A and B are shown apart, each in its own frame.
Chain A
Amino acid sequence: MAELCLGLATSHLAHIVNARDAGDSAKVAAFDAGYARLAAALREAAPDACLIVSAEHVNKFFIDNMPAFCMGLFESFSGPVESKARDVGYPWREVPSDPGLARYLIERGLDEGVDWAVSEFWEVDHGMMVPLHKLDPEGRVPMIPVFVNCASAPMPSTRRCFAVGRWLAEAIADWPGSRRVGIVATGGLSHSVGTLDQGRIDVAFDEWFLDRLCAGDGEALAGLGDAEMMEAGSSTGEVRSWIVLAGAFAGRRAERVFYAPIEGFDTGCAQAVYR
């Protein structure tokens, strides 16, 4: 029996590493402090492997073949892919993965109705690499990337994301051996990218979302509709990754680590942890 030992959630925007001056300095410092707390939690939990669940920003996955969910199956992956086009302010690197656990989850899912798309080569974007840069820059913890389509409708419903999270917890618990597994969810909270309301942050939505998460009320999060998330911003649907995490820790309370609407970052920035 493996143990689901830790759940981390964080916004993943790159401003925290390459446009820090755009935000209020006190809020940016608090966001950094939140990252430090998450990194400490990761070190203390010492998982043998983690899943890192994130949106992707149409760098790899495109509408000619858009999966709802995809899992990486390889010894390692690399990124951030954006650094091939411009200086992103943090280094390209290779991240170790865990193909044994990934294959187990993929094969079990394909047998039980969680039909993962599979990627055997993946240059991931800032959605994963910024949090990894802040949480585990030396790549000590093997990470299995998990994509959730948050970029192009039709997208997986929040109900489905929650169910996939619940399924992940059950499958991880059945993983043979005494291994410790964590989940890192990234994205959100409210923000818009590439739309006319870019810069608007929906504090009320963010507070409601964090309140429900920290109350252990994942069922409420699993009731969010596409329209409600879109109303809170065109990219707010990235909270799907948080809802996968809430499903994995269903019924358990998360600890709120940080929240602030950071205007220059155009995002409601948040962090939480399940221990």
Chain B
Amino acid sequence: MTAPPPASARYWLNRALFDLGDPACRREFGADRAAWLDRYPLDAGARAALEAPGWRVLLDRGALPNLVFKYFMLSGHPPGKFAAIAGETDEHG
């Protein structure tokens, strides 16, 4: 893959989350999360927050709440538990 064009850190964080809306991306993400994240020019903190996942860090870094919530559900959590689970996460979230 050629180097992604320059953009804000917020953009790439949200780009990664947005792309998970694509079924092919979800499959690749499920098969090898690290390899999938390699596609995006994420700094270490953003990458760690996506890998953990760290819900609070994602939000603090400007991830759009709608995308964070979709990632939360994709991670298998019940929708009504976001505040409880996100509130309990560690230093990555």
Residues of A within 8 A of B (CB): 19, 22, 57-59, 62-64, 84-85, 151-152, 192-199, 234-235, 264, 266
Q: Is the interface of A mostly helix, strand, loop or mixed?
A: loop
Nearest residue (CB) in B for A264 is B80
Question: Interface range on chain B: under 10, 10 to 19, 20 to 34, or 35 or more?
Answer: 20 to 34
* A58-B18, A193-B69 known; A199 vs B83 contact (CB < 8 Å): yes
**Please, could you name 29 A-B residue pairs with CB atoms under 8 Å apart, sorted by A?**
A22-B80, A58-B18, A58-B64, A58-B67, A62-B14, A62-B18, A63-B10, A63-B14, A63-B64, A64-B11, A84-B23, A85-B21, A85-B23, A151-B66, A192-B65, A193-B69, A194-B64, A194-B67, A194-B68, A194-B82, A195-B59, A195-B82, A195-B83, A196-B86, A197-B83, A198-B69, A198-B82, A235-B66, A264-B80
Q: Secondary structure of the B side of the interface?
A: helix
Chain A CB within 8 A of B87 CB: yes
Is B56 engaged at the interface, CB distance under 8 Å to the other chain?
yes
Closest CB of chain B to A240's CB: distance in Å?
15
**What residues on A are CB-neighbors of B15 within 8 Å?**
62, 64
Q: Which residue of B lies closest to A19 (CB)?
A: B79
Residues of chain B whose beta carbon lies under 8 Å from any beta carbon of chain A: 10-11, 14-15, 18, 21, 23, 26, 56, 59, 64-70, 72, 79-80, 82-83, 86-87
Whether B21 and A59, one on each chain, are in contact in the complex, defined by CB atoms closer than 8 angstroms, is: yes
Q: How far is the CB of A196 from chain B (nearest CB, A)?
A: 5
B14 contact set on A, CB distance < 8 A: 62-63
**CB contact between A195 and one of B21, B65, B80 (< 8 Å): that residue:** B65
* B21 / chain A contacts, CB cutoff of 8 Å: 59, 85
Which residues of A are found within 8 Å of B80, using beta-carbon distances?
22, 199, 264, 266
Given A193-B65, A195-B83, list of 14 further CB < 8 A pairs? A57-B66, A58-B67, A59-B21, A63-B14, A64-B15, A85-B21, A151-B64, A151-B66, A194-B68, A194-B72, A195-B82, A196-B56, A198-B82, A199-B80
